[in-house]
Structure 1
Amino acid sequence: MLRRYPALPRISDADEDEDEKLMFRNIALRGLASLSVVLVVLVSIVLVFNVRASRAEVPPVDPRSQLVSVDGKNMSVSIQGQGEQTIVLLPGFGTSAPIIDFQPLVDELAPDYRVVVIEPFGYGYSDGTDKDRTADNIVEEVHAAVQSLGIDQYILMGHSIAGLYALDYTAKYRDEVTAFVGIDSSVPGQPNMDKKFPIEAFRIAKNLGFSEVLAQIQGNEDSEQSLDEATKEEMRYLVAKNNFSDTYLNEMDHLSSNFAAAIGKTFPADLPILLFAVQNSKVQGWTELHEGQAASVDHGELVLLDGDHYLHHTKSKEIAENLERFLGELN
């Protein structure tokens, strides 16, 4: 027997378009719902960490640190060692706790030198500042801190961005600086330093408390593994305090202009310079740029070390030994 079934309704093109729109709308709604859940979770995490942070006792200033007055604000410095020669140490950009970060190197240098670590405004336990983070302003503030300590002759040593600021510093205060030592230090003309950063996005993240969350989850610089628990907690506090602060973001925003202004600048020809740089760096032309800088002065030397950008975490002994040799050869 032949069975007859009711005919299926014909689906028009208009109906197909409407179904597709409905499908995409449902997908979009589900996506938004998922995103909302993620945002709620993230904000909840931030709020929990912020409540914990607000209840936590702020750690005291590092016992190695003392505060000096610069431009009406407090700048943190550390003085260790009793040697006849003084070394002034300057941090790389964004180092949240320079005194802690430099400690492996200070331990190697302190038996033979007096070592002064400067925490510029926005770093470590120093205050922040509203002044633009131009190289000129940073140099003037650091010099004021050195002057307040009564130091008039010293070796200037710096990591990363400090190498760029040192060009202006040594040009202005050549009569005070006896040598410059760079630790994988920045140089004029290094690539990719003309980029602009999403400053406002970072500021929003800071205001929402995400820097505190990152500090709790990630810790800080890669020297943390060798720290005791009390120092790790101090480091996390300083990361939360300084990462993406207004002073930090202002300096970040001035990186491109500070690098542009440094093009063509060199160290004074009669200033001895010793440069430590990462061997086989991923930065294009890194070795050649440092070779050129060393060759630009009467007594310049480049020492290539196997390691990462924070050479003072793993190569402190080599840095101290080469410095002693280099200074001995100048006499």
Structure 2
Amino acid sequence: MMKKAFILVVTVMAALFIFNELWMKKEEAIWLDPPGRYVEVDGHKMHIYSEGEGEHTIVFMSAWGDTSPYANFLPLCKDLSAYAKVVIIERFGYGLSDTVDGERTFDKILEEDREGLAKAGIKGPFVLCPHSISGLEATLWAQRYPSEVEGIVAMDTSIASMRDVYEKQGFNIQIPIFIFLQKTGILRVINGIPKNETDKMVTAISCRNEVNKNVISENKHIVEACDEIDKNLLPTVPTIQYVSKQAGDAYPKWITGHQAIADASVDGKCIMLDCGHYVYKFEEKRIAGDIKEFIESINSV
């Protein structure tokens, strides 16, 4: 009985693996026809999507481990493209961008993203709209190149004042589990049948490349980025600091840290939202409206 069960499991796993490999071969066309455009940075392709025109340029920057920043931010992009130029940047290891070699320090990520925007012909100053871990990159950006950043809309972002918490984070058991599901093809079954072309793209990225060496490496450099930020004064550019109640309830320093960033700003607000970490999905219309008012107010500061 045990032998038959073992043979059945092996057969099913082999079938899933082959099924996944065949689908990944078919999905290669998605990388050949991206919704945005590719620019070459350090010999690799970076995917950048933009739409709209206006006096201000909004740049959306994604959380750690996001499958497709393009798909995640597209609804907000559509909401705001009538008022400004809106850009979704997919840093290396994310979305349709290449996975590259080397350590993923925040210094490296920042310089690559700046170069990618420049090569795409997208000029600053920018209104940076980071979510989660990319808040550290946005803060470094404003500290080092203040003339390139005219405002920051931080969506429940990682902050340097949480350094001790990040330092204590241990091995993430979810990573090897996810890699196993991805490599065996089980993840494709879990994802289910895509509903539209965007879902097809997200599934293709998830089943091929979601947890990769770039994503794993950048997570190891969070404390280092916090130390770099702490060497300098907090940015004074106008800002909205959104804080999710979920994160605030778990970590009181999350609230005080974001409030300190708002207090350092020439025009800063810290806004608590009664939702989870992906605030821009839970409160899309609210945030879109706030960003519109924010960019309209920048010139008066």
Question: What do you get for the CA RMSD once the two structures are aligned?
Answer: 3.1
Residue by residue over 1:128-164, the C-alpha shift from the partner in whole angstroms, topping out at 9 and shown as x without a partner, is: 1112111101111011112213313221111111111
Partner residue of 1:273? Answer: 239
Query: Quick one: which amino acid aligns to residue 293 of structure 1?
Result: I
Q: Following the alignment from structure 2 to structure 1, what is the Cα–Cα distance between the partners of residues 65 and 39?
A: 21
Q: Following the alignment from structure 1 to structure 2, what is the Cα–Cα distance between the partners of residues 41 and 256?
A: 44
Matched, 1:296 2:264: yes
> How far is 1:261 from its partner?
4.6
Residues 327 and 56 from structure 1, CA distance in 2 versus in 1: closer, same or farther, beyond 3 angstroms? closer
Residue by residue over 1:156-190, the C-alpha shift from the partner in whole angstroms, topping out at 9 and shown as x without a partner, is: 11111111111211112111111111111111133
Q: Following the alignment from structure 1 to structure 2, what is the Cα–Cα distance between the partners of residues 197 and 243?
A: 18
- Which one is further off, 119-128 or 46-55? 46-55
Name the SS for the 2:165 alignment partner.
coil
Partner residue of 1:206? Answer: 179
Partner residue of 2:106? Answer: 135
> How far is 1:326 from its partner?
3.2
Q: Is the 8 A contact 1:211 1:240 kept in 2?
A: no
Name the SS for the 2:53 alignment partner.
coil
The count of aligned residue pairs is 293
> How far is 1:55 from its partner?
4.6
Larger radius of gyration: 1
Name the SS for the 2:54 alignment partner.
coil
Partner residue of 1:197? Answer: 171
- Which one is further off, 241-250 or 118-127? 241-250
Name the SS for the 2:60 alignment partner.
strand
Matches within 5 A, 1:316-331: 316-330=284-298, 331=300
Alignment equivalent of 1:250, drawn from 217, 231, 234: 217
Matches within 5 A, 1:1-331: 40=10, 43-44=13-14, 46-61=16-31, 63-150=34-121, 151-190=123-162, 192-194=165-167, 195-197=169-171, 202=175, 206=179, 209-210=182-183, 212-218=185-191, 228-259=195-226, 261-263=228-230, 266-269=233-236, 271-281=237-247, 282-285=249-252, 286-330=254-298, 331=300
| Unpaired segments ≥5 residues, structure 1 | 1-29
> How far is 1:192 from its partner?
3.3
Residue by residue over 1:86-117, the C-alpha shift from the partner in whole angstroms, topping out at 9 and shown as x without a partner, is: 11111111111111110111111111010011
Residues 229 and 325 from structure 1, CA distance in 2 versus in 1: closer, same or farther, beyond 3 angstroms? closer
Residues 83 and 197 from structure 1, CA distance in 2 versus in 1: closer, same or farther, beyond 3 angstroms? same
TM-score normalised by L of structure 1:
0.77
Structure in which a larger fraction of residues adopt helix = 2
Q: Following the alignment from structure 1 to structure 2, what is the Cα–Cα distance between the partners of residues 322 and 204?
A: 38
Q: Following the alignment from structure 2 to structure 1, what is the Cα–Cα distance between the partners of residues 210 and 259?
A: 33
Q: Following the alignment from structure 2 to structure 1, what is the Cα–Cα distance between the partners of residues 230 and 268?
A: 19
Q: Following the alignment from structure 1 to structure 2, what is the Cα–Cα distance between the partners of residues 91 and 211?
A: 27
| Unpaired segments ≥5 residues, structure 2 | none
